[in-house]
């Protein structure tokens, strides 16, 4: 058996899928290497909340059996992946980072997107750590321990999909699935230095995933390259008539990412996104803008109000979802979020209705930007990863509460429902840590965001860095 294509060969998941199809390595060999990497590193990282090795061995063996028969392999055949533990895995309890859910019955079937991954031939290694019920930006989970940033184990991995970001950064798996309501894919992608995609709101089915905020939740992938990200995104696409929140009526393949930037109108978000970004985050944005030839500064409308409305709706829907448990089992909730859930449950209906009405107006204003621009760039997080336990961060001389402020730059974007690729950059002045850049496109134009991200990767400015653990 080769030591590991993930570690020694330096193959990303896209190249790994090709190697398995070519017979250069078997799915079982790759799986054993990936499990060995997880066992060697996860004591330090704490990305995994549960492991599904018996299932993984069965799935890998099925891929190798197809190969032995000379049958065509699906696009992700033999590629290891893992999912945030709010995705249903048949036979496993969907914990969603909580203590309360331990008493729930095991899932009867896989989440829709887990089924899509299985159909594409990917091999599921387990469930990943997260903030309880996805209400957080740091994955400092009291019940299951904090997930540590592989680039500096004293720092947070971001959240709420912190395990999803850390597992890719640590080289445990090259693809993970996460969720993003207010930034929960983009924040860990930024802090862990990996690629992430928050698709258009309603693009991918959410059936079989534990909700946080029905009216804002998105699901999407994190990956080790843009090529891998696009490959898994295409595999996840499918209309789902059983999910009323899935608005996609057809599959729209990403297409050729190498078409370049010809014809793309690319702007750089200023104003709010400049004021709430530290110097290293601004540097990351300027590196990306220079690589893409973007010079025009664009103003995103009503960003402050958009973030405020997103906070109100998130708190109210989250609190309502957990009302019964808040009344009877408040002590079993995550101490870092229970007060916010209680406050959300008490939010006046008038506030929520105003926030929802504003959202419609806000979305129209944001969408109008894309009459003039195809892609817009912004920092993904205001700073690099804070230390675990930090209560405050400094942004340009102003002190902000650490945990909620990691979503300062992502919340206004997801509230509009736009697709976003988080690209990993490595600016000076960030203590060697990554800070991501958001590559934002109009709704239903993931292909344009991925095309611009591919150009950043090709220019060498956005990429993963290996870690020693």
Residues that are catalytic: 84, 160, 184
21, 120 contact by CB (below 8 A): no
Burial (0-12, 13-18, 19+ Cβ within 10 Å), 24 = middle
> CA-to-CA distance for 165 and 195, rounded, in angstroms?
9
> CA-to-CA distance for 138 and 155, rounded, in angstroms?
9
Cα–chain center distance at 10: 22
Helix (H) / strand (E) element for 283: namely: helix 279-292
Give CA torsion, residues 455, 458, 459, 465, to 10 deg: 120
DSSP code of 257? G
> CA-to-CA distance for 175 and 177, rounded, in angstroms?
7
Residue 121 has φ and ψ, to the nearest 5°, of 90, 0
63 Cβ contact list (under 8 Å, min separation 6): 20, 27, 73, 77, 78, 121, 123
DSSP code of 179? E
């Amino acid at each position: 058996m080769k030591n590991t294509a993930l570690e020694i060969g330096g193959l990303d998941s896209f190249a790994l899928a090709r190697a398995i199809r070519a017979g250069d390595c078997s799915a079982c060999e790759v799986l054993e290497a990936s499990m060995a990497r997880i066992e060697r590193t996860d004591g330090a990282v704490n990305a995994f909340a549960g492991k599904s090795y018996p299932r993984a061995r069965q799935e890998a063996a099925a891929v190798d059996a197809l190969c032995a028969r000379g049958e065509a392999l699906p696009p992700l055949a033999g590629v290891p992946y893992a999912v945030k533990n709010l995705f249903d895995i048949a036979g496993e309890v969907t914990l969603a980072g909580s203590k309360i859910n331990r008493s729930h019955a095991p899932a009867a079937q896989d989440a829709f997107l887990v089924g899509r991954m299985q159909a594409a031939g990917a091999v599921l290694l387990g469930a990943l750590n997260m903030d309880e019920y996805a209400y957080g930006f740091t994955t400092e989970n009291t019940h299951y321990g904090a997930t540590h940033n592989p680039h500096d184990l004293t720092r947070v991995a971001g959240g709420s999909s912190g395990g999803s970001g850390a597992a890719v950064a640590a080289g445990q798996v090259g693809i993970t699935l996460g969720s993003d309501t207010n930034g929960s894919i983009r924040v860990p992608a930024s802090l862990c230095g990996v690629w992430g995609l928050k698709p258009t709101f309603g693009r991918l089915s959410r059936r079989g995933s534990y909700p946080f905020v029905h009216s804002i939740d998105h699901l999407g992938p994190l990956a080790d390259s843009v090529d891998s990200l696009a490959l898994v995104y295409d595999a996840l696409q499918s209309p789902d008539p059983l999910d009323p929140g899935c608005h996609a009526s057809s599959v729209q393949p990403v297409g050729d990412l190498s078409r370049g930037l010809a014809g793309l109108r690319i702007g750089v978000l200023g104003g709010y996104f400049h004021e709430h970004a530290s110097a290293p985050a601004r540097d990351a944005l300027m590196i990306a803008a220079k690589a893409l030839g973007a010079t025009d500064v664009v103003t995103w409308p009503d960003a402050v109000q958009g973030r405020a409305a997103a906070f109100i709706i998130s708190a109210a829907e989250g609190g309502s979802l957990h009302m019964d448990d808040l009344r009877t089992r408040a002590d079993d909730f995550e101490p870092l979020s229970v007060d916010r859930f209680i406050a959300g449950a008490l939010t006046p209906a008038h506030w929520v209705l105003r926030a929802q009405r504003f959202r419609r107006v806000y979305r129209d204003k944001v969408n109008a930007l894309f009459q003039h621009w195809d892609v817009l760039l912004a920092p993904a997080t205001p700073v690099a990863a804070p230390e675990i336990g930090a209560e405050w961060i400094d942004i340009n001389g102003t002190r902000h509460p650490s945990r909620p402020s990691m979503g300062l730059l992502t919340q206004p974007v997801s509230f509009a429902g736009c697709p976003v690729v988080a690209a990993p950059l490595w600016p000076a002045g960030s203590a060697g840590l990554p800070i991501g850049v958001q590559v934002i496109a109009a709704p239903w134009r993931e292909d344009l965001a991925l095309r611009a991200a591919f150009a950043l990767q090709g220019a060498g400015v956005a990429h993963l860095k290996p870690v020693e653990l």
